[in-house]
Structure 1
Amino acid sequence: MRNRPGYFASQLKKALKGIGTDEDELNRVVISRCEVDMIQIKEEYETIMKRTLEKHVE
């Protein structure tokens, strides 16, 4: 996997897509990644979604 942050950002996008949230997937990604990874994942998510992960989760 060449772009790990991109992969996990995509997984978060899928977990948050549509009505309802796939909380199991959301928790799996957030809990399984270290703090440094999450910084990169959040940056990649913002690039993909054009909004912050924090705003999407609110």
Structure 2
Amino acid sequence: MRCGTKRFEITVEKDNRIATQEICARDQIDARKICRRMFGDDEVVISVRRKK
């Protein structure tokens, strides 16, 4: 885990299914990058929210 990370809740759509994933990242842009690396470019990121 890196310094200054926060937890983000990402809602994605892949194959006509909506899923929610929790990711630790420094900011929203980094969370989107991590999500794309994990699941591939063919999914659509609907929302990224900081989890409190």
Q: What TM-score, normalized to structure 2?
A: 0.38
Q: What TM-score, normalized to structure 1?
A: 0.35
Task: Answer 1 or 2: which has greater helix percent.
Answer: 1
Question: Which gives a bigger RCO, structure 1 or 2 (Cα 8 Å, sep 6+)?
Answer: 2
